[in-house]
Structure 1
Amino acid sequence: MEILATRMLIRPVDYAKALEFYRDGIGLAIARDYPGGTVFYAGQSLIELAGHHSPTESGVFPGALWLQVRDLYAAQAELQSRGVPITRAAQEEPWGLHEMHVTDPDGVTLIFVEVPDNHPLRHDTRD
């Protein structure tokens, strides 16, 4: 199987509130709008908010979104200046990444990550 593209699909309980959070709070650029939804650019991926939530769906994504940024501490300050609550402040993790958590209106965890220059993810560790 060949995968040509990917995107994260979120069906929020309150579409307008989620739209405001991702567009205005997080500051993601809109890739396109369609009747009943909005697709955002998110690095090399896309995040789509679908406005057709079914009452039988939980509305809570069972995982998290991992979003890499250049400067985590600047991103934290920017989000705070926009009034976005930080669930867990930026800190260095035991595995060497710097991470901060934010929770969207439906309980989805967004993990903002900075990969330091000396981290193995930035270097080819093959022999």
Structure 2
Amino acid sequence: MEILASRVLFRPADYARSIEFYRDDIGLAVAREYGAGTVFYAGQSLIELAGHGSPAEGAPPFPGALWLQVRDVYATQSELEGRGVTIARTAKQEPWGLHEMHVTDPDGVTLIFVQVPETHPLRRDTRND
């Protein structure tokens, strides 16, 4: 099997509010719009909000979170606060070395904004270790 592309797809309860959140509040750029949906750039991935269909009745909430790497999580927090975005958990360094901040989207999905310090193993070439 060869995976050619991937994206996260949400069917939000309030499509217009979710568009406003991802486009205006968070500040993601629109990759494309197609009549009943909008696709946003999210680093090397895409987030699609489908205005067609609806969340499955009785379906559990999104079981995970979106992990969004940024250069400076503290500057990102200030930027989002300046736009009026509620910060669910303020930026701090975690025991595993990453700096993280949480925001919740209109449907309860957690967006984890992550800063990877230069000394963290995720930034190190381990091929010669």
Give the shorter-chain TM-score range: over 0.9
Decide which moves more: 52-61 or 105-114.
52-61
Query: 1:5 aligns to what SS in structure 2?
Result: coil
The 2-side partners of 1:120 and 1:71 are apart by 17
Amino acid aligned to 1:107: G
Q: Which residue of 2 aligns with 1:42?
A: 42
Equivalent residue number for residue 26 of structure 1: 26
Q: Secondary structure at the match of 2:87?
A: coil
* Residue aligned with 1:87, SS: strand
Q: How does 1:75-94 map to 2 (within 5 A)?
A: 75-94=76-95
Listed as ranges, the gaps of 5+ residues in structure 1 are none
Write the distance in 2 (CA, Å) between the matches of 1:58 and 1:106. 12
TM-score (norm 1): 0.96
Residue matched to 2:17: 17
User: Identity of aligned pairs, percent?
Assistant: 73
AA aligned to 1:45 is S
* Residue equivalent to 1:106: 107
Q: 2:42 is aligned with what amino acid?
A: A
Give, in whole Å, the separation in 1 of the partners of 2:55 and 2:75: 37
**Contact 2:11 / 2:51 at 8 angstroms: preserved in 1?**
yes
Could you state the TM-score of these two structures normalised by the residue count of structure 2? 0.94
CA contact (8 A) 2:91 2:100 kept: yes
Alpha carbons of 1:13 and 1:58: their partners in 2 closer, same or farther (altered >3 Å)? farther
Query: Where does structure 1 differ by over 3 angstroms across 4 or more consecutive aligned residues?
Result: none
Give structure 2 stretches of 5+ with no counterpart: none
> C-alpha distance in 2, partners of 1:59/1:29?
28
Residue 24 of structure 2 aligns with an amino acid whose one-letter code is D
Return the letter of the residue paired with 1:22.
Y
Please report the RMSD computed on the Cα atoms of aligned residues, expressed in angstroms.
1.2
